[in-house]
Structure 1
Amino acid sequence: MVYGLDPSIVRYVMRKVRKESGYRQEDIADATMSYGTISNIERGVGNVDEKTVLKYLAKLGLNEATLKNIVKKELERMEELTFELQLIELMLDNNKLGTHAEQMLKTIGIERYHPLAPFYTYLEGRCFQAKKAYDKAEKHYKFAIRLHNQYKLLSKDNIVSICYNELSICCYVQNKIDKALHYVEKGLAEYVEHEGSEDRRDIKAPMLNNKALYLLNLSQYEAAKQIIDDMWAKRFEIRSSYYTLLNIYKYRAMLLRKMQKYAEAIEICKEGIHLGFRNNIQNRYLDIMNILGSIYLLQKQLDKAEHYFQMVLNHDYEGNHPRSRTDALTYLAIIYAHEKDWAKAEGHIQRALDVARSNYRNRLSKVLIVAGNIYAEQQNFTLAIPCYQEAEQLSLKDGLKKRQYTALLQLAKCFDSMEAENEWKVTIKKVMNLQQELNLQSEEEVYAI
């Protein structure tokens, strides 16, 4: 470390001074210092000793006093710039994008070798992600990681882990669950604990949260349970946000529901709903409210279940939370189908389909299966079959093989009831192939009572 200064700042200053002087690296190279050595010094690679670094500083006209003075000024600029970038991140975190965050970023032009370049590039990715331009977002996150590694920046904010986490989220919303899990595991592997309040935010807890979510989606329940059990024990130590804490409540309730520990799951749901309501985190407490309703549904306490699903719709009267709204409408359709109230069942499942098609494609295949069930139960196979077929194709495209199996099994039942032998044979062959491939019997979802 030269003169006790941060090496990443010193490297930035050297490169900046050289460029402002109009020199390329090869212009400064001579018999005493090769172009390769200069490149290694500026990139922080290779085994370049401090004596050689000091020699290069002298070539740039920098001595200890001038270097420290420049570093001091750059650190002051960086402190101001960091604050500006953090404000932009807060805008993105609060979904207040518009054109403001992008415009603010564009007014801050920084060099790609600047110590804050990875953070800046990550924010560019966030802007694209907010617009659902996932390919461009992923490109920027990967570039931010590459910049951090290329210039050997000594970041204390775990920007590499943050970028990997965002890459995992981009994959998840596109139903690329295996890739999402891959990226979040890379983020956890890159994570470095820092003492005190060095971190811009606690990213480890959200990453573990996301890993549990992806494992649940992949039906790897034991692995997900291990993560959630550990996080539950430490839930009051989580510094990141109430969003992360409420996700722990949500996933724990889901796991307890699967284990049929309904009483414990109900208490967790109620506690999570109160926590979310007090902190005005509507999308989280509505999700947990749906889970609570589903627990009552599984216990065939239909009045209680209907009450909570209807409450979700009442709380989301403006339709700002399509995921929760889709789930509530779907569960209500299941209840009304069980009660043979076909008009209500069809009305609610159609509303669920409309929301899922417009706003939340991730839920669409499940909604289509429930729709197919409603029509099949009424022997209306003309409407049921297209629902199952579309659900099967969507599940195949999204890699949701258990859901594909469910759709195919229901489709086979339709063809059997219709005595459409050829179609039944083709479908049942697909069912058997999937059953053999996955060694499964049924999907862990609620489609009917």
Structure 2
Amino acid sequence: MQLSTMELGETIRSYRKERGLRLEDLADDQISVSTISNIERGYSHVKEEKVRYLLEKLGIDFHQLNALETKQKQKDDLYLLELKAVETWISSGNSKRAWEWLKKNRLSETHALAHFYHFSKGKYYFSQEDYEKAITEYQTVLRITKVAHVHHPLELECYREICHSLYLLGSYEQSLEVADRGMEWIEEGEKRKKNKDAELTLAGLRVLCLIQLERMNEAYYFYSSFWSDVPLIRSSYLIIQLYMGKVRLSRALGLNKEAIQLLEEAIRWCGENGEHSLVCECWLMLANVYHEQGLIEFADVAYRTALALEDRIKERSLVVQTYLEYGMFYLKEQQYEAAKEKIEQVVFLSKRWNDFTSLAKAYVYLGDLQVELNQLENGLNQYLQAKEIAKKGSAQIRLTVLERLAETYRTMEDDQKFMDSLIEKFAFEQELREKVGH
């Protein structure tokens, strides 16, 4: 009879606890407390004779063992089914219910299903955008499988999720390192159960990290190793990010024709899969490519198409971004009335949705428009409005506003206010540096 300690561990633990026995009650000169603990944890390095000896001490014969294992398997299968339900709740937005279950049904790290539990917990934290806690849970899974001396398919998924979390945190070097470790895991285990989605996602995240680190040639070469399989990735968002990444690479390498072709493919793919927001993002990027090439009419069509999706887009920020980019396009092309119309719509929507960063940007661009028309006083008033609003927005927009004010005062030959604006800008930059230092 070949015994698997991974399968037996939890069965033995449950049987012992049901009889109120401690580890110390079973230990003797032939089997130590630590060995019994290792058996219950399912560690594969424990000698089989020790397992047999422990079964004899517990009074478990072969027929009884089968019954106990069947009972334990039913319990484990039910628990795993409930974990699948938890993941469904998470993906459907019912995170509160998922968290309540995870709190109520927590497992110790020595439990045979602990790695599944901590993986689901990592999924929960990821859904809440608490990426650091998610990473901790996934690292716990890797630690559990390492201590148990087993190679579990869940390890690859953990590498993928840690890599993704670090990427979203902006830790691109670390994310790349984890992606490489995941690739090594794949190469080391030819006989391991494959997870194509995890492999492709890891490869995709790796190339996105290379792009963020501006290792463009390496990224472009690596794309060729998996690009044909990209449609097999389950995450629509990641697929479109890979398209966007390759577009960025193509543009950086001067391959504008390829960039346009990729965007057209992405638009078709997103449309077929009902990803309206992603379609909008693709049309915006296509508009930027056309505009950079001086194809003004083409860019106008692309912007207009993106805006036509307004009613189908759920993300308010994307609607505002579309109006804002369209207004900036008209401003650069000196079509001032059209620019003003689009930017004023940004003001309206930003006030309605309390989007202070976009509202400040809108007033900056309205100020730019007035300056372009040589209406410096009007432009100055717009910048001053932007300055007050920018206090509630991002740091970058505050710096932009202070730069615009300083430049306007210089043009108006108001030396005192020009210097005051420069000093205020310098002080704010110093404040930001100190925050980063802490």
Q: Indicate whether the TM-score tops 0.5.
A: yes
Q: Is the 2:160–2:182 contact (alpha carbons within 8 Å) kept by the matching residues of 1?
A: yes
2-structure distance, mates of 1:286, 1:218: 26
Equivalent position SS for 2:336: coil
CA contact (8 A) 1:294 1:331 kept: no
Matches within 5 A, 1:15-54: 15-43=13-41, 48-54=46-52
- Answering whether residue 338 of structure 2 is matched by residue 344 of structure 1, we say no
SS in 1 for 2:328: helix
Is 1:208 equivalent to 2:203 in the alignment? yes
Letter in 2 for 1:291: M
1:71-82 residue pairs with structure 2 within 5 A?
A: 71-82=69-80
Contact 2:233-2:239 at 8 Å conserved across structures:
no
Residues 36-435 of structure 1: pairs in structure 2 closer than 5 A: 36-43=34-41, 48-93=46-91, 95-97=92-94, 99-102=96-99, 112-134=109-131, 136-152=133-149, 154-156=151-153, 158=154, 160-175=155-170, 177=172, 180-181=175-176, 183-191=178-186, 198=193, 202-235=197-230, 238=232, 240=234, 242-317=236-311, 319-322=313-316, 324-338=318-332, 339-341=335-337, 342-350=339-347, 372=364, 374-376=366-368, 378-379=370-371, 380-381=379-380, 383-384=382-383, 394=394, 413=407, 416-417=410-411, 419=415, 420-421=418-419, 423-424=421-422
Whether contact under 8 Å (1:216, 1:224) holds in the other structure is yes
Tell me the percent identity. Answer: 20
Residue-by-residue CA offset, 1:246-302 (whole Å, 9 max, x unaligned): 433232222223333222221221122112211223333332222212212222333
Unaligned regions of 5+ residues in structure 2, if any? 372-378, 430-438
Cα distance in 2 between the residues matched to 1:272 and 1:264: 12
User: Residue 446 of structure 1 aligns with which residue?
Assistant: none
> Whose Rg is larger?
2
Q: 3-state SS of the aligned residue for 1:230?
A: coil
2:180 and 2:399 mapped to 1: Cα distance? 28
Native 8 Å contact 2:45 2:149 kept in 1:
no
Change (3 A) 1:255 1:176: same
Aligned residue type for 1:60: L
What are the superposed Cα offsets for residues 140-188 of structure 1, whole Å, 9 maximum, x if unpaired?
44444444444445523x2x34334434444554555555555555555
Stretch of structure 1 that moved more, 285-294 or 179-188: 179-188
Q: Which shifted more, 382-391 or 130-139? A: 382-391
1:17 deviation in Å? 2.5
8 A Cα contact 1:368 1:387, kept in partner: yes
* Secondary structure at 2:244 match in 1: helix
**Equivalent pair of 2:179/2:205 in contact (CA under 8 Å):** yes
CA deviation profile, 1:283-323 (whole Å, cap 9, x unmatched): 33332222212212222333432333333343241541345
8 Å contact 2:95–2:124 — kept in the other structure?
no
Q: 1:205 Cα shift?
A: 1.3
1:203 CA displacement: 0.9
CA contact (8 A) 2:201 2:233 kept: no
The 1:19–1:283 alpha-carbon spacing in structure 2 relative to 1, beyond 3 Å, is farther
Letter in 2 for 1:378: Q
- Structure 1's unaligned 5+ residue stretches are 397-402, 432-449
RMSD: 4.4
Moved more, 328-337 or 56-65: 56-65
